[in-house]
Amino acid sequence: MARLIVLETSTWAIAALFLLFSSCVVHILVQRFQPSLRSIPGPFLASFTDLWRFLKAYDGRFELALQAEHDKHGDLVRAGPNCISVGDPREIRQIYGISRLFQKSDYYRVAQPIVNGKRVASLFMITDEDAHKAAKRPIAHAYAMTSLLDYEPFVDSTSKVLVERLTTLYADTSKLCDFGEWLQWYAFDVIGEMTMSKRFGFLEQGKDVNDIIKTLNKSGAYTAIVGQMPWLDYMLAKNPYWGHLFSKDKLGISKFVLGYLQPRIEEASLRKQKQLASEDTKPLETRADFCAKFIAAFEKYAGQIPQSQLLGWSLSNINAGSDTTAITLRAIFHFLLLHPSTLSTLVSELKAAKLSDMPTFRETSHLPYLAAVIKESLRLHTPVGLILERIVPEGGVTLCGHYFPTGTIVGCNPAIIHQDSRVFGRRYGVNEFRPERWLEADTEELAEMERCFMAFGAGKRTCIGKNISLLEVHKLVPLLLMNFKFTLADPNKKLTIWNTFFVHQKGLEVYVQKA
């Protein structure tokens, strides 16, 4: 009898294993041979699981792995069973344009932290287009070109500190300067000034204050990796039982920002109470920083916007504003120092412009060679290195001559697009750092390069902080080149680069001399 029970148990176990194996095989076959997607080439693993892109994101150089696949297979690459990477720049307008609504994928939901039991999303993280419009409309004016002059004093204040620190610690000494670190600290402090009228203290202390940059990088790495298989987030950071173990970095960033935001909210609330009691007739906010504009917008749209959106707006600045600007500045100086003739041409343009001691945006924004250097640096080292995922809307879409049904995830990787020789390689090789390509192009060539330039995204969801980043770069690069001469410690040493959606660099070490 016991033997019979054992045999029956073994039979059931074998049957269960067979059923599980069969289910896995069926799932793989269904994923692998989906109509409309099965003919798209790519890594075999990616045809039936998102594990391929998960592992490549974990490796930290997703953009290189994807570039290799496009080099091998062409404009369309199947990066996952339902994810298509589009490498043809001519399809940018269709995917990211305003004529049809391609909503953001669940990748972006992974980036949303849970604060006090509710999701808080920066503008970048919001997937629903109606919600994005509602969150963007009240504060869009704060990022417009017409508002840039409001922020110049904040940039100037932080720039002076950077010049003083470089002069005191490194100028005309043999001391090695990790210039890339200082540029990161500068970018973080200046966005603090612009957002909260208060630097975070990176430049003064010469370090990562409270390890917030380290925390931001870890949070970004989590999103980049887990975002390739978004359902994992519900088992990890969004899990109600042990989610705190995986979400502490995102929460740490939120708490850091709240530490500066909350006093401003309380200050505005107190002033409003006094005003209602007729004790104070001053405007609710008199400062010109972003926080003042966020609070004013919240007051104006009272009842239409949750107070958590104040944190969401602030996170938009801190999360993206510090990284993109730092990456751009490091790329510009690294390329310039590797190409002395380009650096010399730029310095000559700056001298001829007779700039103020603290260059203004009005003085530098129209300098053609400076603009070309910035664009070429952003092209060759693009800040974003993952696919900007979108979901095919009702009715499907035809991309590169191939039809994709509703629900398919499609998108372009800006780092891939910027290496397209059909657009950017007509006069010089796409791997060359040649700012001249932007100046020597004819009208048609230049227009196409501009249309396909994705350093700040594309279409209706273009980075809202684009103008702010360009303001900082147009002011700081001339200022530093007017005050210092930088020399690479080792011109043959390559930077350490890793991709957590933003493509970071480390190892920009220089010697500093007064100009």
Mean pLDDT computed over 21-45:
71
Share of the chain above pLDDT 90, in %: 74
Among 100-104, 132-136, 167-171, 271-275, the minimum mean pLDDT is found in 271-275
- Any idea of the CA torsion for 19, 22, 23, 28, to the nearest 10 degrees? 170
The pLDDT score that the predictor gives to residue 282 is 54
Mean of pLDDT over the chain: 91
230 within 8 A of 106, measured Cβ to Cβ: yes
Residue 13 has pLDDT above 80, yes or no: no
The pLDDT score that the predictor gives to residue 123 is 86
Nearest to 66 by CA among 49, 81, 84: 84
Mean pLDDT computed over 141-146:
89
User: Which amino acid, residue 232?
Assistant: L
The pLDDT score that the predictor gives to residue 28 is 59
The string over 402-415, giving b where at least 16 C-beta atoms fall within 10 Å of a residue's C-beta and e elsewhere, is: eebeeebbbbbbbb
**3-state percent breakdown (helix, strand, coil) of the chain, nearest 5:** 60, 10, 30
Q: Which residues contact 245 (CB under 8 A, 6 or more apart)?
A: none
298 within 8 A of 310, measured Cβ to Cβ: yes
The span from the CA of 494 to the CA of 471, in Å, is: 28
Dump the DSSP string for 277-302: TTS--S-S----SHHHHHHHHHHHTT
482 vs 29, which has greater pLDDT? 482
The span from the CA of 500 to the CA of 492, in Å, is: 25
Q: Look-up: residue for tokens 């060679």?
A: 369
Q: What angle do CA 7, 12, 14 make, to 5 degrees?
A: 95
The span from the CA of 359 to the CA of 478, in Å, is: 7
* 116: confidence class by pLDDT, cuts 50, 70, 90: confident
Residue 21 has pLDDT above 70, yes or no: no
Global confidence as pTM: 0.91
Structure-block tokens of residue 137: 């409309």
Mean pLDDT computed over 64-75:
98
Q: What digits encode the pLDDT tens for the residues 432-441?
A: 999 999 999 9
The pLDDT score that the predictor gives to residue 15 is 60
* 121: confidence class by pLDDT, cuts 50, 70, 90: confident
Among 20-24, 310-314, 506-510, the minimum mean pLDDT is found in 20-24
269 vs 183, which has greater pLDDT? 183
Among 43-57, 285-299, 461-475, 492-506, the minimum mean pLDDT is found in 285-299
Among 2-16, 88-102, 215-229, 354-368, the minimum mean pLDDT is found in 2-16
| Runs of H (alpha helix) within 77-177 | 92-96, 107-110, 129-136, 148-169
